[in-house]
Amino acid sequence: DAGVIQSPRHEVTEMGQEVTLRCKPISGHDYLFWYRQTMMRGLELLIYFNNNVPIDDSGMPEDRFSAKMPNASFSTLKIQPSEPRDSAVYFCASSGGQVRGSQQFFGPGTRLTVL
Amino acid sequence: GDSVTQMEGPVTLSEEAFLTINCTYTATGYPSLFWYVQYPGEGLQLLLKATKADDKGSNKGFEATYRKETTSFHLEKGSVQVSDSAVYFCALIDVSNDYKLSFGAGTTVTVRA
């Protein structure tokens, strides 16, 4: 199994530009999570999906952020317009059902730098 | 709400030293508890877990016991190696709270040869 795949691994953009991060979860997993990691705030859950449906987006910082999951094998996190404070590592994770103690599998992350 | 508090780092140790990272939690329900590890430049990996009180999770020489009476899940390893240098996250998932994973702040551990 290839694990959770994220692209790009690194993204450098200028303030005001649109940024799209991509994630392919592990096949058969029905939960998908987007996290943001910064030195100041640690790991934050932004949004998660169950069976392609957004369940909780309360962690999305503001309207500039949006996430979609058009099918079971693909999700995007979009920032438009981007700002320097969005610079962080963004992780996607997937899980094969949230029975008690189920494990989330993390991708390698996308390191975003907004200049 | 649910929360996890873990020992602040960074922690620097010599090889073969004993490692303890303290973790306590607050939860309204009956959480499952996890330790995740993040090696430099990588995503998080599950290190071990425990799903009910008195369970002991273990992996790669690391252990942690779910202590409901003290709401703790401390991570221990008897003899660390340089390859254990990483950031360690304590986390919980409370099935009464939409199954969201709540992470501690992370503890950076550096092991010197």
pLDDT digits (tens, 9 = 90+) for A38-61: 988 889 999 999 999 999 899 998
The answer to whether B95 and A98 are in contact (CB under 8 A) is: yes
**Interface contact flag, B103 A43, Cβ < 8 Å:** yes
The answer to whether A92 and A76 are in contact (CB under 8 A) is: no
Q: How far apart are CA B78 and CA B75, in angstroms?
A: 10
- The confidence band for A100, taking pLDDT boundaries of 50, 70 and 90, is low
Cross-chain CB nearest to B49 (options A42, A101, A108) = A101
Asked if A54 reaches chain B (Cβ–Cβ under 8 Å), the answer is no
The predicted structure's pLDDT at residue B95: 67
In total, chain A counts a number of residues equal to 115
- The strand pairing partners of A19, in sequence order, are A79
The predicted structure's pLDDT at residue B13: 96
Average the pLDDT over A73-89 and give the result. 97
Give SS3 for A3. coil
Asked if B42 reaches chain A (Cβ–Cβ under 8 Å), the answer is yes
Distances (CA, A) of B47 to A37, A51, A64, B79, B89: 19, 26, 34, 16, 9
If you ran DSSP here, which 8-state letter would residue B113 be given?
-
The answer to whether A42 and B103 are in contact (CB under 8 A) is: yes
Q: How far apart are CA B31 and CA A98, in angstroms?
A: 12
The residue that leads in pLDDT, A89 or B100, is: A89
Asked if A103 reaches chain B (Cβ–Cβ under 8 Å), the answer is yes
The tally of CA atoms less than 13 A away on the side-chain side of residue A103 is 14
**Residues in A 20-49 with any Cβ partner in B closer than 8 A:** 31, 33, 42-43, 45, 48
- pLDDT tens by residue, B54-102: 999 999 999 999 999 999 999 999 999 999 999 999 999 876 665 678 8
- CA A32 to chain B, closest CA, distance in angstroms equals 11
Q: Quote the mean pLDDT of chain B.
A: 92
